[in-house]
Amino acid sequence: NLVSQQPRQTCDRSPETRQSDDWIRGSAIGLFLVSAYIAFLFVSLLLYSVIYGRTGRRSGFDGIVVLGAGLIGSRVPPLLASRLDRALRLYRRDREAGRTPVIVVSGGQGADEDVSEAFAMRQYLLERGVPDDDVVLEDQATTTEENLRYSKELLADRGLNGRVVAVTNNYHVFRTAVLSRNQGLRLQVIGAPTAWYFVPSAFLREFVALLVRNPVVHGLACAVLMAGGLALTQIN
């Protein structure tokens, strides 16, 4: 009789124990849902950056805005050179078609830089045959928002209110597009290639920056998912 009663005693859990187990299961489900939500957002960023940066017009621009990136002293590093080379291809394509676009090089001077990013970018383009009159210097911007806003103002001052394209690296395309929409700027964003070893950290940094821009929305979404996971364990 003692043996037959033993399983019954071990399986008979107290209400407090069952409640504790439900909370553990609910928390696990909630964390899984939150992880799935974050993973979905990250994959969406990757897909959008790749697809958006490769679609749209490739010619017919009045202005080509090149967003600045950090220099090494006064030298243009490979990351920034990739953006400038992409802008050069767009510029030459339009010139061959008989158009006369201008290139706006945008970027201020950082504390560890010998010159402004815009100055170094301008020199890079001049050395590759772009006429001085076709390069517009914007050397005050310190953020992507300022890059876009100041560059558009310079183009408007020149009477260039037509099609404008912003050139950045592919990992930066989505956030640049979001920032331009938030400012009411109508422009296309094109991505330049990024070295493979830089891609993981760059995309993670962009992803965090996008999440931080909308903390309330993403915080509420995560809270709802956690609450949903806990609620699932209470149904029965």
Tokens of 5: 């009663």
- 74 and 97 both lie in a single domain: yes
Asked, for residue 93, whether it belongs to a domain, the answer is yes
- The CATH number linked to 87 is 3.40.50.620
Residues 40 and 61 in one domain: no
What tens digit of pLDDT does each residue of 21-76 get? 777 887 888 888 888 888 888 887 777 777 765 665 667 788 999 999 889 988 99
The tally of domains found in the chain comes to 2
In terms of Cα–Cα distance, which of 117, 97, 98, 94 is closest to 106? 117
* Whole-number pLDDT of residue 3: 47
Q: Report pTM.
A: 0.74
CB half-sphere exposure, 80, CA atoms < 13 A:
24
Structural domain of 51: 25-55+198-236
**Residue 116 pLDDT grade (very low, low, confident, very high; cuts 50, 70, 90):** very high
- Say yes or no: 161 and 235 in one domain: no
Same domain, 216 and 228: yes
Question: pLDDT category, 15, cuts 50, 70, 90?
Answer: low
- Note whether 104 and 219 are same-domain residues: no
For residues 231 and 173, membership in a common domain is answered with no
Q: Are residues 226 and 153 in the same domain?
A: no
**Domain match, 69 and 137 both:** yes
Q: How confident is the model at residue 195 (pLDDT cuts 50, 70, 90)?
A: confident
Q: Are 102 and 135 in contact (CB under 8 A)?
A: yes
Output the CA torsion sign for 234, 222, 200, 188.
Answer: positive
Indicate whether 76 and 146 sit together in one domain: yes
**Is residue 2 scored above 50 in pLDDT?**
no
Let me know whether 91 and 177 are in one domain: yes
The answer to whether residue 17 is domain-embedded is no
The residue ranking higher by pLDDT, 15 or 222, is 222
My answer on whether 80 and 93 are in the same domain is yes
Nearest to 190 by CA among 214, 212, 165, 222: 165
Q: Are 73 and 111 in contact (CB under 8 A)?
A: no
Give domain status of residue 180, yes or no. Answer: yes
45, 133: one domain = no
Per the domain annotation, does 8 fall within a domain?
Answer: no
Give the confidence band of 12 by pLDDT, cuts at 50, 70, 90: low
CA atoms of 158 and 140, how far apart (whole Å): 18
Q: Do strands 102-106 and 135-138 pair parallel, antiparallel, or not at all (unpaired)?
A: parallel
**Does the structure show a pLDDT above 90 at 110?**
no
The answer to the question of residue 4 being in a domain is no
Residue 15 resides in a domain: no
pLDDT of residue 124: 95
